[in-house]
Structure 1
């Protein structure tokens, strides 16, 4: 059977790491407090323009001789320019930000027995898949598109098995079709998914992955106060025009996903809450 034809491309990158054995600041030495996973979604007809977009951005920030964007290596002025330029492009953005303190030392024995060594990473991928596939399904339906599948392109990172991610992708599709999706109120839209449409490349080989790095790193800097200095939300705020709206015209818990939930139980500082408040989160516990 041939690969399904696709209409959308979702580029996925990350900032922070998925380690859970030891987590800062609980442990003086350990994994990052946060992990952010981002997606940049572009229509297939515009995918060939992405290289030019990145080239234009590098020229704007004075890096004409280097056509690869590494967000962490940019100056503050360059970072805000990059984010403002991305906010003007015809694409849609999604990000999940996981504060890992509550996951410290946790083991998913069920996933481990099934042979998954990266269940936490796959779970964050799932949160993105649910929103991305919903957005693309709704868009394709609204515009009467014949093609509606999404191709997922991951940025390669040490320690991840992308064959496991593709297999998990197919498992989610099966579960969503049979009504057996576990653990969440949402499920991926299987109508736009195929495990055959999962690829992975080094960051520098795909311009779309560099844009995804901009998103993941912007939100990481908005919440991190250990590695990148005090929380700086202005970069993530500058991306606002391109963050996708959900069915209720909200970005909260759709294109900006905070974990764990509910948000009022998340143990984070006021500075770390600022970016989430900007995108619609209310940290007051409801009086039911």
Structure 2
């Protein structure tokens, strides 16, 4: 099978970690309470410009000694400037934020049967792919584009097997194509997917991955109150103009996804709920009749 031509590039990065054996704050020593996974979607014709976008932003924030943006190395005002400038670029943004306390010591027996050692990471990727591929499919259909496929570019992180992610990507495609996905609320749009369009690079090699780091980190700082200080929603709110909209012009459960669901069952504090409320989440538990 030949590699299909593509119209979009989705750069994917994460903040936090996928560990589930021990999770803070339940365990004094453990993995992060949250994991955020982000995607920055760029049209193919604009992708060559991303390197210049990074250079322009570094110049604007006075970060002239490097050609790389790494969110954690910036001060507060620089972070806000970066997010404001990213929100002016021709991109679309997505994020999945998982509060892992309810997943502590959880095992996925279905995944273990196929020897998947990174099932939680792949599950997060799946949620992200569902939204990204839906947006691309709708955009390409609306504009009657000849090309409609998405190339997915992952930021390399220790412990992940991207060949396994690509294989999982292909499995999702065939399951969704045949209506056999285990989760059926949403399915990835197989029409824009190909396992041959999955790549991975170190963060510093691709400007698009640096923007994905900005998005993942901005939302991580909006929900985390253990590692990065009190929840700071300024950065994630600054990205609002470029957070993708669903078919009903919604952000919640589309470009901004909270796990676990339903949202009112998430064991999170009021300050952690703040960013999700901003993007349309309602934490009021429905009354039973």
Verify same fold: TM over 0.5.
yes
Report the CA distance between 1:112 and its aligned residue: 1.3
Query: RMSD of the alignment, in Å?
Result: 0.6
CA distance in 1, matches of 2:60, 2:274: 29
Structure 2 regions of 5+ residues with no counterpart? none
- Tell me which residue corresponds to 2:133: 133
Shift of 1:141: 0.3
Does residue 1:170 correspond to 2:170, yes or no? yes
SS in 2 for 1:258: strand
TM-score, normalising length from structure 2?
0.99
* 1:183 Cα deviation after fit: 2.1
Match of 1:258 in 2: 258
Q: What is the aligned partner in structure 2 of residue 227 from structure 1? A: 227
SS for the counterpart of 1:169 is helix
What is the CA-CA distance between 1:65 and the residue it aligns to? 2.3
Provide the residue aligned with 1:104 in structure 2.
104
Q: Structure 1 segments of 4 or more deviating over 3 A?
A: none
How far apart in 1 are the matches of 2:105 and 2:112? 14
Distance 2:65 2:7 in 1: 32
Give deviations 1:173-215, integer Å, cap 9, x for gaps: 0000100011240000000000000000000000000000000
Q: Give the whole-Å Cα distance in 2 for the aligned partners of 1:106 and 1:173.
A: 26
Q: Which residue of 2 aligns with 1:6?
A: 6
- Residue 56 of structure 1 corresponds to 56
Matches within 5 A, 1:149-188: 149-188=149-188
Deviations 1:97-143 (A, max 9, x none): 00000000011122112010000000000000000000000000000
Task: Output the CA distance in 1 between the equivalents of 2:204 and 2:166.
Answer: 22
Alignment partner of 2:46: what SS?
Answer: helix
Q: Return the alpha-carbon distance in structure 1 between the equivalents of residues 109 and 126 of structure 2.
A: 18
Residue in 2 aligned with 1:38?
Answer: 38
Q: Distance in 2 between matches of 1:259 and 1:108?
A: 16
Helix, strand or coil: the match of 1:283? coil
Partner of 1:92: 92
Deviation at 1:2, TM superposition (A): 2.1
SS in structure 2 at match of 1:200: strand
- Deviation string, structure 1 residues 68-118 (Cα, Å, up to 9, x no partner): 011011000100000000000000000000000000001112211201000
Q: Is the deviation greater in 119-128 or in 105-114?
A: 105-114
Distance in 1 separating the partners of 2:110 and 2:179: 20
* Count of residues paired in the alignment: 288
Write the distance in 2 (CA, Å) between the matches of 1:264 and 1:65: 45
Deviation string 1:158-184 (CA, Å, 9 cap, x unpaired) is 000000000000000000010001124
Query: 2:215 — aligned with what?
Result: 215
Distance 1:250 1:37 in 2: 19
